[in-house]
Amino acid sequence: MRTQRQLRVGEEIRHALAAVLMRGDVPWPTGLNPPTVTVTEVSVSPDLKNATAYVMPLGGLKLKETVRAMNDSSGFYRHAVGKAVLLRHVPKLRFVADETFAIAHRIDVLLHDPAVAKDLQKPKRPDDEEK
């Protein structure tokens, strides 16, 4: 269970990262088109020294390349977070692909499967038809 402080610091870091990505002054490697990246969540360790940022490029295109490029330039992001968020120690940043969209899609497909959909419908009662 994360504490209120971890949640608050994680949200501040998420906003700072989103602002950096929105400005567009990110040092993307040559050959990689600058993708539009969403920072969905930032999870901070209890000692506030490490932070994991969950990211997803628009449409999920070039996910591995984007995460690798962001991890390679994590010092840039750490410096930008340090300027934007007032913290005694700026946490080390690690970027990870956000899998929640894929999980949500898989659950949606399962729920719309005909074998499962019949179990989700309300059973018809005989007295309902008379009304």
Q: Which two structure tokens, joined as six digits, stand for 56? A: 């997803």
Strands 50-57 and 92-97: parallel
The tens digit of pLDDT for each residue in 61-101 reads 888 999 999 999 999 999 999 999 999 999 999 999 998 87
pTM: 0.80
Q: Which two structure tokens, joined as six digits, stand for 55? A: 């990211």
Count other Cβ atoms within 10 Å, centred on residue 116: 11
Q: How far apart are CA 37 and CA 59, in angstroms?
A: 9
The tens digit of pLDDT for each residue in 7-60 reads 999 999 999 999 999 998 888 888 888 889 999 999 999 999 999 999 999 887
Domains within the chain, CATH numbers bracketed: 4-99 (3.30.300.20)
